[in-house]
Amino acid sequence: MRTLKVALHQMNYTTGDFRGNFERTKASILACRDADLHVLPECAVANYAAGDYLLEADYQQAIVHWTEQYRLLSAEAGVAIAVGTPLRGKVQGRKMGNGVVVFDRGRAVLSQFKTHLPNYDVFDDVRWFETRGEQVGADAETGVWRLEAAGGAITLGFCICEDIWFDDVTRELRDKGAEVIVSLNASPYAIAKGNFRRRLFDQRIAETGVPLVYVNQVGGNDELVWEGCSAIVDPAGTIYEMEIGREGADVVPLADEGQGFRLARTQAPIQLSDPQERYLVVGLGLRDYILKNGFEDVVFGLSGGADSTLVAALAADVFGPAKVNAVMMPSPYTSAGSNTRAADFAAGVGDGFSAISLPITAEYEAGLAKFHAAFGRDMGSLADENLQAQIRGNTLSAISNDHGRRAILGTSNKSEILMGYGTLYGDMRGAFNPLKDLYKAIDVFPMLEMRLAQAKAPDALFARIWEQAFGTPLQPYDAGAQAALRAVIDVEPSAELKHNQRDTDSLPPYPRLDAVLWEMEDAKERQTDAQIAEKLGEPLAFVQDIRRRVRRAEFSASSRPRAPRSTAVPHHKDRRFP
C-alpha cells in the first residue's frame, strides 16, 4: 500500500518581513518534518498582498534570496517543500511570474508558473505577474513530479489558486499522470465563499478522478483577510479541512489500496453562524492591521450606540481590555441613557477597559459663537451637526498623536457610509474601520445579538475556534455589560446631534435600506433599479432615491479609512466610481 503524508501549512504572512515569514514557516515545517510533502500558500515568500512592491527591483532580489533559503531548508531538514513564490519570467523586466517551486532535499525538482491570472474583484495579478502562457520552453509547460514515499513513488501535479477555477490545468496535470493535484492558494475571505469553494473542489475532482490538496493562507493584510480552511478532498467525497482562522500545520495522510489515493483521516468543515464567522474574520483583519503596522493599542469614540459598541466588543476580544481606549464625548444632545450604556459596557467587559468622559459642550458652543461673530448668523443645521462630529474627531486625533502608536478605529457602518450619513474628518476619521464592510441591519445588529448570546450562554465551538485563532479567549461580560448591550440593541438608532433625532429622520429604516443597498452593491448580478424594486417589492422611486444618494455620497465615501473585507464586493479594491 502506498501512503502519502501531506503537511498543510496555513500561515499568516507580513509583507516585507522576509526573515520573520521564513522563520515562522521553518518552525512550522520542522515541527512536522515526518511529512512526505510540505505545502505552503501561494506567494508565501513574497506575500500575495505585496502590491506594487512586486514590481520593485530590490523586492524582487529579496524574493530570489529568500526562495533560495527554502531550498537550503529542504536540504537541512531532509524534506520536500512546495513553495509559492514569484519566479523570474521570460522577460527580465519589471514583472516576475507567480509560481511554485518544489524543493526535495536541497534540489529544485519542479518549477511552474501560474496559468490563469485573476483580474477582477480584489485581484490585480495582470499588473504584477507574467503568465505561464508568456513563457518559452519548459517554463511554458505544467509539470508533474515523482515523489518517493512509503510503499512506492507517487506522481504529483501542482497548480496555483485561480488555476483550479478552470478545468484546463487540472485536466492537463491528470493527463500527465498526476495521482494527486496540489493547489497553492491565497484566496481571500468572503461570506459564503467556503461552500462555493467546496463545490468547485468537487467539480475538479469529478473531472480528474484524483484528490485535490488545497492550501490557503490565514490572517489579514490591509483590506484583505484570509480565513485559511486549507483542505484535502478525495474522489469519494471525503474531506479533511483545517479549522477557520488558525495559523499552523496539519499533517494529513492519504493511502492507495489499489483504487487511487483516499484520505486516511477526515475532518469536517467547521460550521459557524454568519454572525460568528464575520465576527471572527473582521477580528482577524483588525488584529493584523494594527499589529503588522506597529500600533501598540487603539482608541475610538464610544457613544452607547450599536456601531461603537460593536467596535468596542471586537477590540476587547482581539487585543484584551488593557489595550482598548474608549472616549465618551457627550454633547448637549447626548442622552443620559447613552452615557450609562457606554460606561456600563466598558466597566463590565473582562476586567474593564478604559473609557474616559471628555464632554465637548464647551468647544461646541465656542464654535457656534465664533461662527455667529464672523458671519452674523447661526450655523446651518447640517454644519451644526458636523461640527460636533469633527470636534470628536479632533479629540481622538489629539489622543492618538500624543501617544504616537495608538490607532484610531472608525465606527461607521457600510449602510451609513454608502448613504453619506457620516461626517468627513469626524466620525469617519480613523486608521482602520472594522465596520466599513458591515451593513447595519444585515450585519451589525446580528453580530451584537450573537456576542450577547455568547456572553450569556457560550457556544463552546465558537469559543474554541476564537481562542485557537487569537490565542486568547473571548472576554466575559458581567451582568452590567450584558444589560448595557441588550439596551444598545433595543434602543432606536440615533446620531444624537440634535434634539430628539432619529436615524430614520434622514434614512429609511435600516432593514429596507440594507436590502436595496445589498442588491446594488453586493449582488453578483447587475440589476437595474426597476429590477431591484420588483424583486424587493419596493416603489421604484424609493430605489432610485437611494441610488442617487449613494452616487452623491461618493466624495465622502471615497475618503473612508481601510477596513477588513467581508462581503464579495470590497470598498477599495473593486469599487471605483468617479
Instruction: Read off the DSSP letter of residue 33.
Output: T
Q: Hey, what's the torsion of the CAs at 235, 240, 246, 251, to 10 degrees?
A: -100
- Residue from 95, 130, 159, 161 carrying the catalytic annotation: 161
Cα-to-chain-centroid distance, residue 39: 22
- Which of 238, 168, 163, 235 lies closest to 206, judged by CA? 235
Contacts of 500 (CB under 8 A, 6+ apart): none
- Residue from 114, 292, 323, 414 carrying the catalytic annotation: 114
**Is the CA virtual torsion 66, 67, 72, 75 positive or negative?**
positive
Cα-to-chain-centroid distance, residue 305: 25
**Catalytic residue flag (residue 90):** no
What are 61's three cell numbers?
532580489
Q: Please name the helix (run of DSSP H) or strand (run of DSSP E) that holds residue 185, with its range, or none.
A: strand 180-185
3-class DSSP state of 38? strand
Beta-bridge mates of residue 228? 244
- Which of 415, 370, 388, 338 lies closest to 498, judged by CA? 388
Q: Hey, what's the torsion of the CAs at 414, 416, 418, 419, to 10 degrees?
A: 160
Exposure pattern of 252-270 as b/e (b: 16+ CB <10 Å)?
bbbbbeeebbebbeebebb
- HSE toward the beta carbon, residue 173, CA cutoff 13 A: 33
One-letter amino acid of 161: C
CA distance linking residue 167 with residue 204, whole number of Å: 7
Region class of 389: left (phi > 0), else alpha (psi between -120 and 50), else beta: alpha
Beta-bridge mates of residue 301? 327
Cα-to-chain-centroid distance, residue 491: 30
Judge contact between 72 and 66, C-beta under 8 A.
no
Beta-bridge mates of residue 244? 228
Degrees to nearest 5, angle at CA 333 with 332 and 336 = 95
CA distance linking residue 301 with residue 252, whole number of Å: 46
3-class DSSP state of 419? helix
Contacts of 343 (CB under 8 A, 6+ apart): 328, 355, 357
Residue 547 sits at φ, ψ, to 5 deg, of -60, -45
Degrees to nearest 5, angle at CA 205 with 8 and 150 = 50
Query: What sections of 259-360 are H helices per DSSP?
Result: 274-292, 306-319, 336-348
Judge contact between 446 and 275, C-beta under 8 A.
yes
CA distance linking residue 321 with residue 156, whole number of Å: 48
Residue indicated by cell numbers 464654535: 367
**Catalytic residue flag (residue 114):** yes
CA distance linking residue 373 with residue 395, whole number of Å: 24
Judge contact between 495 and 503, C-beta under 8 A.
yes
Active site members: 42, 114, 161
